[in-house]
């Protein structure tokens, strides 16, 4: 497979504070990556740096062979990065349909296909963003990223704070996108047992550095490492 994303010696953070400590990684076209680690280890900062909303102190980022290190966030989106931040960033004063049509770009993921993925959104297409439940807002945020038809999808804790039934629904949809349809993605998630089964590779961060990189399936059954880095082996 062709290399899609290359991160080389990346150091970044907020102001003078460096959170990401010299991270290097690659992601091939069609691969999905679980980005794991305890709270405060730099997962969100790494995604924010890929999007371009942190201060970069060193390193380079390329996407599809294009150096995007110096590009502004809107230019990185145009280059092919789709982002679902923890805050979701939907337009709360627009309807569901307007949220989708306002950002849609030509490609395989049409607004109609997003509705097929998330029937709840189709039922609420005339509702304003602020009239949706938290789970519905998250579905809308994911749908908005998909209709951008990105080369790389970044999901920052997409299941956080949602009811179990919504978690199951969203997880099925994310699995369909990244596992069945092969969209390249990096997914940050606190619960590795949810996300490792639907991703191909896993990276674990600790104190802003990569402490593990390997196959998701292997990490899923490695109780010692799960417990050491994530504290989940007994759950």
The whole-model pTM stands at 0.94
pLDDT for the residue numbered 235: 39
Q: Which architecture characterizes domain 1-13+25-80+150-235 according to CATH? A: 3-Layer(aba) Sandwich (3.40)
Classify the C-alpha dihedral 119-123-128-130 as positive or negative.
negative
Q: What is the DSSP string of 106-143?
A: SSS--HHHHHHH-HHHHHTTTSBGGGS-HHHHHHHHHH
Beta bridge partners of 35: 188, 203
Classify the C-alpha dihedral 84-87-92-96 as positive or negative.
positive
pLDDT for the residue numbered 143: 97
Assess whether pLDDT exceeds 80 at residue 1: no
pLDDT for the residue numbered 232: 64
Beta bridge partners of 55: 13
Q: What is the pLDDT of residues 179-215, one digit of tens each?
A: 888 899 999 998 899 999 999 999 999 999 999 999 9
CA 17 from chain centre, in angstroms, equals 23
pLDDT for the residue numbered 231: 80
Assess whether pLDDT exceeds 60 at residue 233: no
Domain(s) of CATH 3.40.50.300: residues in the chain:
1-13+25-80+150-235
pLDDT for the residue numbered 91: 94
Split at pLDDT 50, 70, 90, the class of 33 is: very high
pLDDT for the residue numbered 107: 95
Average pLDDT over residues 120-142: 96
Whole-number Å distance between alpha carbons of 215 and 75: 32
- The residue that leads in pLDDT, 230 or 132, is 132
Average pLDDT over residues 69-78: 95
Please state, rounded to an integer, the average pLDDT across all residues of the chain: 94
Residue 158 near residue 84 (C-beta atoms within 8 A):
yes
What is the SS3 assignment for 83? strand
């Amino acid at each position: 497979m062709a290399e899609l994303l290359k991160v080389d010696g990346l150091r970044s953070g907020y102001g003078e504070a460096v959170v990401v400590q010299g991270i290097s990684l690659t992601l091939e076209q069609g691969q999905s990556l679980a980005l794991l680690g305890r709270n405060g280890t730099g997962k969100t900062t790494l995604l924010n740096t890929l999007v371009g909303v942190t201060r970069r102190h060193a390193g380079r980022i390329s996407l599809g062979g294009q150096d995007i290190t110096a590009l502004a966030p809107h230019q990185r989106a145009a280059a092919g990065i789709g982002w679902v931040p923890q805050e979701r960033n939907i337009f709360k004063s627009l309807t569901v349909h307007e949220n989708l049509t306002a950002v849609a770009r030509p490609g395989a993921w049409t607004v109609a296909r997003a509705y097929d993925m998330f029937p709840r959104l189709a039922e609420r297409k005339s509702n304003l963003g602020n009239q949706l439940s938290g789970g519905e807002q998250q579905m809308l945020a994911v749908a908005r990223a998909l209709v951008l038809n990105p080369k790389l999808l970044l999901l920052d804790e997409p299941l956080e704070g949602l009811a179990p039934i919504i978690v199951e629904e969203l997880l099925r949809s994310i699995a369909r996108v990244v596992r069945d349809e092969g969209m390249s993605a990096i997914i940050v998630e606190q619960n590795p047992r949810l996300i490792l089964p639907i991703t191909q590779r896993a990276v674990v961060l600790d104190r802003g550095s990569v402490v593990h990189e390997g196959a998701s399936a292997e990490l899923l059954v490695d109780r010692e490492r799960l417990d050491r880095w994530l504290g989940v082996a007994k759950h």
